[in-house]
Amino acid sequence: MNRITNETNSYLVYFQNDQSEAKFNMEIWDRTVSKADNQLNVQWNRSGEGKTLYQYDISVDAKTLEPIEEIIDHGNSNKKHFIYVENQMRSHADTSHHNGEPTHIADLKHSFNWELDLETFALLPLENNKQFAISFYHPGSSTPPQYYMYSVTSESHVTFNHEARTCWILTIKYSENSSADFWIDQTTHKVLKMKEVYGNITRYKLLLAK
């Protein structure tokens, strides 16, 4: 857990149909991590087109990364608030906190919050040809918690902030035409880049230099 430090990391996120075509749906993701007592908090702001699109306030256990709660502000009247207790998840009973459809997951299968995949990957003991079965769940999603297989497929040398970095490439295969690669710095353990393919559409996340 000492690999996760109090700091803000910003990512440029965008889509492309083809590398020769224009980028679209561009966003900036600011993810601020702070540790207090036994709790780790991540404030995640998504902005684009000159405005804040979504704000997330996510809390997990600072030792185990076990989810505690998540609050999502869509910038309008749509409010979501999810609470995790004893391997279950419920939406907040007070409609002033959560005014969407009530949600209850009776068995989280001890899953991690998929909204924190970038931070979770920093904890993995990565090495060539190693595989990880990780149970993830998107808070409020209709897709139940389940295990996903991630594999270290290769190493790659990239340039970040004018410095040469050696990265592990962590790969997940969702289906025949859908997959994602994460370039994870071997020294800092940060995700420097992600390339995610959905058929003919590709989504990128790029860590921005400070």
What is the mean pLDDT for each group of 10 consecutive residues in the chain (210 residues)? Answer: 93 91 95 93 94 94 95 85 95 92 93 96 96 95 94 96 96 95 97 95 94
What's the rounded Cα separation, in Å, for the pair 69 and 113?
10
Instruction: Write down the domain spans for the chain.
Output: 7-207
Host H or E run for residue 44: strand 39-48
CATH code at 7-207: 2.40.360
Buried-state track 129-143, b at ≥16 Cβ within 10 A, e below 16: eeebebebbebbeee
Scanning the structure block, which residue is given the tokens 């025949």?
Answer: 176
Residues in the chain: 210
CB of 89 within 8 A of CB of 106?
no
Q: What is the predicted pLDDT for the residue at 61?
A: 96
Per-residue pLDDT, 19: 75
Cα–Cα distance for residue pair 112/61, rounded to 1 Å: 11
Contact call for residues 11 and 28 (beta carbons, < 8 A): yes
To the nearest 10°, report the CA torsion of 84, 116, 197, 10.
140
